[in-house]
Chains A and B, each alone.
Chain A
Amino acid sequence: DIQMTQSPSTLSASVGDRVTITCRASQSISSWLAWYQQKPGKAPKLLIYYASSLESGVPSRFSGSGSGTEFTLTISSLQPDDFAIYYCQQYNTYPGTFGQGTKVEIK
């Protein structure tokens, strides 16, 4: 299975900060990468697919980039609603595998 590794595991930031989360794949996955946001007690929500395509309805402060084995999720100006756990997921190869998650918490 392809291993997905996110960094950092926890990120402390303030409202208005620019935040970047990195996701690395154990082998090339082209651009078949998604990012999800999960809040406590809720289902994950799709933010980005195909590495950089913004899901409909997702604020434009979220952006994704990368290809091959290294990817980033950027939040340009962190808002109170953005404090959550973020997961990357590769869907290049079965089984689709997730990163371990990055918790974005209030500084």
Chain B
Amino acid sequence: QVQLVQSGAEVKKPGASVKVSCKASGYTFTGNYMHWVRQAPGQGLEWMGWINPNNGGTNYVQKFQGRVTMTRDTSISTAYMELSRLRSDDTAVYYCARDLSTSTSCYDYWGQGTLVTVSS
């Protein structure tokens, strides 16, 4: 069965960077785009971007351009999302989510979420 398992919670200071991992299993990792979506406490869902695990191509939402980097390691079926220059309003749960296909931006499987807390 398809599973996405994310790394554990992180506490970071403002200005630092965080890197969240998402290990995929149960399907061909390179066959579906992987997206990252975040959810601030008590708030709605916000798409950040996607990575094509097949060739490493990425597409980031304008808001995060220059601060977010999505990468992958196909040898271990793992996607990564790194967010730099963290601010307090980056405090959120970060989810990886598998695309239904390639770049549809509809998500059929989600990781369990990684809470990133930014606090001085």
Q: Which A residues are closer than 8 A to B by beta carbons? A: 32, 34, 36, 42-46, 49-50, 55, 87, 89, 91, 94-101
Chain B nearest Cβ from A25, distance in angstroms: 14
Asked if B47 and A97 make an inter-chain contact with CB atoms under 8 angstroms apart, the answer reads: yes
Quick one: given A95-B47, A96-B47, A97-B47, are A43 and B106 in contact (CB under 8 Å)?
no
Residues A46 and B45 in contact, CB atoms below 8 Å apart: no
Q: List 6 A-B contacts (CB under 8 A).
A: A36-B45, A43-B110, A44-B45, A91-B105, A96-B106, A98-B46
Q: Which of B61, B106, B112 contacts A34 (CB 8 A)?
A: B106
| Chain B nearest CB, measured from A106 CB (Å) | 20
Instruction: Decide: A44 and B105 in contact? CB cutoff 8 A.
Output: no
Q: Which of B90-108 contact A (CB under 8 A)?
A: 95, 97, 100, 104-108
Residues of A within 8 Å of B111, CB to CB, are 43
B106 touches A46 (CB 8 A): yes
Q: Which residues of A contact B95 (CB under 8 A)?
A: 43-44
- Asked if A46 and B44 make an inter-chain contact with CB atoms under 8 angstroms apart, the answer reads no
Contact status of A89 and B44, CB under 8 A, knowing A49-B100, A95-B61: no
Known: A43-B111, A46-B106. A94 touches B45 (CB 8 A): no
Identify whether the interface residues of A are mostly helix, strand, loop, or mixed.
loop
Interchain nearest-CB distance for B117 vs A (Å):
15
B45-A98 in contact (CB<8A): yes
- Are A94 and B44 in contact (CB-based, < 8 A)? no
B105:A96 contact, CB within 8 angstroms = yes
Chain B residue at smallest Cβ distance from A97: B47
> Which residues from chain A contact B45 at a C-beta distance below 8 Å?
36, 44, 87, 89, 98
Q: Which residues does chain B contribute within 8 Å of A87, judged by CB atoms? A: 44-45
- The contact of A44 among B46, B59, B61, B110, by CB within 8 Å, is B110
When the two chains form their complex, are residues B108 and A91 in contact, meaning their CB atoms are under 8 A apart?
no
**B113 close to chain A: CB less than 8 A:** yes
State how many angstroms separate the Cβ of A34 from the closest Cβ of chain B.
Answer: 5
- The answer on a CB contact under 8 Å between A98 and B44 is yes
Minimum CB–CB distance from A49 to chain B (whole Å) comes to: 5
Evaluate contact between A49 and B106: CB separation under 8 angstroms: yes
